[in-house]
Amino acid sequence: MFATLYALSFIALAISIVLWFFFQKNILGKKIPQYLFAFSLVSYLISFVFVEDVLSHKLLWLLPRELLGLLVTTYLSKKMSSRGINHLYLVVGIILGSYYSYYNTLKSSFVSSSSAPNIEVATNAEILFDIKNPAELTELTKMLSVYEVKVKKAFPEVINTEITELDDYYVVDVPTKYEGKLNEILSLLHKSGKTDDEELNEVLSLDPNELKTQKRAKLLSTSNYAINDPHLDELWAFDQMNFKEFYSYVNTAKIVPQKKAKVAILDTGVDANHEDIKDNFFSINSQYDIDKQSHGTHCAGIAAATSNNQLGIASFATAGNFVQVTSIKVLDDNGMGTEQSIIAGIIEAADNKVDVISMSLGGPKRAEKQRAYDVAIKYANDKGAIVVVAAGNEGQNAKKVVPASCKGVITVSAVDNQLKKASFSNWVTDISYGIAAPGVNIYSTIPNNQYKSNSGTSMATPYVAGIVGIMKAINPLLTTQDVYEILHSTGIETQNTKETGRFIQPYEVLKKFNNP
């Protein structure tokens, strides 16, 4: 709050100075800028005093910087006012234009204020930063030594360092006795001029709004589906997605995949031995092939359960030559992870040449601090992976959630069996690549050969990841924009299309490849 007040009051101060000079000969008109100046000055001083930041940073950097700006404004206003009232608009335009572009800089001047209080951060790596020049790491570490921190590479495993900055990211482990000084350390990093980015390594957890469903919708009819999965009637979404035509088309149109696409579920792990997943599963790391929480296994079944095997459910993975699924564990057994663990998972997926990364996870966006996510997603995109993420379940704008709001991802909202936006689903109106999929009463796999229904954008996301896997199997060169344009152009309207994006139609997607 004080950071916003600081920025607005400073801009108001500048405008009042301009008006003061231009109306100094008008007694009535002169009163208005005087009152505005007084009000703005009081607001500025209050925000300057109470905003959370290091005092030396305020006095030695911020205050001189803003005083210089006001002096320049005063000089320019005095010079131009002598030329008459006709130049008022010009000066005000220049001031407003300059300070409008400067607004975000003003608002984020207080490094600590851009990080909301009471944020839970990783206990063994509280801060992430991107160093501009690795040769200056020793000097930067020495600056931080007063806090007795440990600094180490955040993502040492990244392979293609020539195409990314990820190898320049480091984590700072702050001792318990200095955990109350995180904002000071962020401020010190920022002021050093040696970093391109510094942010808290926040803890994310699975959304508690994802609930087990009590009342389930059913397929209108399982006849003519030509598959024998016993729980097929639980999959209400297959009617809306025209799965019958999709499955028939796959088997009759003779679509030949160029490869078997790899879909990675970044989550709590996946039960690799589940009866309805194991035939479509490949392992990257055996430690990821166990799921004590169940969320990751539920998502994996939606994306790639084995169809027509007389077991469980079905998915778009109708034939083993199109899609296989794997697991990368980025959340612990309680469904919690950190920004670092999630980004490390994205890197691992990309470096294992995964075609689709499915992330049914997310957390609140803190100011503009999501650069590390953006860099990681770009790395995955540059290596050919399509990143599909959940819009989130807070019933708000997905712009307020990461990684849903990140560049280069396809963001998935959830709809119910009436193709209406789920009440919990975030909307994707302001997202570049927003699309809709079933997310209410979704029946899928859970560990130990069991099945249950969940609701959430987490469930909608692997539906999209599954069909994107089919697309990448047919054409491995598809980019994120290519995929989105196909999904959008073939999708159908929902009851809230502007908020949800278009609803996926896999059958129409396949026809697009045979009839471009």
Mean pLDDT of 131-145: 95
What is the reported pLDDT for 18? 74
What is the reported pLDDT for 45? 84
Helices (H), 155-293: 182-192, 237-240, 243-252
| pLDDT, tens digit, 9 for 90 and up, residues 432-461 | 999 999 999 999 999 999 999 999 999 999
What is the reported pLDDT for 112? 43
Name every residue whose Cβ is closer than 8 Å to that of residue 56 and which is 6 or more positions away in sequence.
none
R_g (Cα) of the chain, nearest Å: 27
What is the reported pLDDT for 255? 81
* Cis-peptide, bond into residue 403, ω within 30° of zero: yes
State both tokens at 162: 């020539």
Is 295 an active-site residue?
Answer: yes
**For residue 414, is pLDDT > 90?**
yes
Residue 400 DSSP class: G
- The larger pLDDT score, comparing residue 1 to residue 237, is at 237
Mean pLDDT of 60-76: 77
Question: Among residues of the chain, what percentage have pLDDT more than 70?
Answer: 83
Question: Among residues of the chain, what percentage have pLDDT more than 90?
Answer: 61
Residue 504 DSSP class: P
Residue 481 DSSP class: H
Hey, is 323 helix, strand or coil?
A: strand
Identified catalytic residue from 114, 327, 405, 458: 458
Is 458 an active-site residue?
Answer: yes
Identified catalytic residue from 57, 190, 274, 295: 295
d(CA 428, CA 484): 13
Identified catalytic residue from 197, 229, 267, 276: 267
What is the reported pLDDT for 419? 96
Question: Would you put residue 353 in left (φ > 0), alpha (ψ -120 to 50) or beta?
Answer: left
277 — phi, psi (to 5°)? -120, -35
d(CA 166, CA 157): 10
d(CA 292, CA 483): 33
- The larger pLDDT score, comparing residue 473 to residue 49, is at 473
**For residue 195, is pLDDT > 90?**
yes
CB atoms within 10 A of CB 293: 20
Least confident span in 180-184, 229-233, 252-256, 402-406: 252-256
| Mean pLDDT, all residues of the chain | 86
CA-based nearest residue to 129, from 375, 470, 462, 359: 375
d(CA 199, CA 151): 14
**Residue 367: band (very low, low, confident or very high) from pLDDT cuts 50, 70, 90:** low
pTM of the model: 0.78
181 — phi, psi (to 5°)? -105, 15
Angle at 58 between CA 55 and CA 60, to 5 degrees: 100
What is the reported pLDDT for 208? 58
Task: Return the bridge partners of 197, or none.
Answer: 130
**For residue 115, is pLDDT > 50?**
no
**Residue 46: band (very low, low, confident or very high) from pLDDT cuts 50, 70, 90:** confident
Amino acid at 186: L
What is the reported pLDDT for 84? 60
What is the reported pLDDT for 465? 98
Helix (H), strand (E) at residue 430: none
What is the reported pLDDT for 338? 94
Cβ pair 358, 266 in contact under 8 A: yes
d(CA 248, CA 252): 6
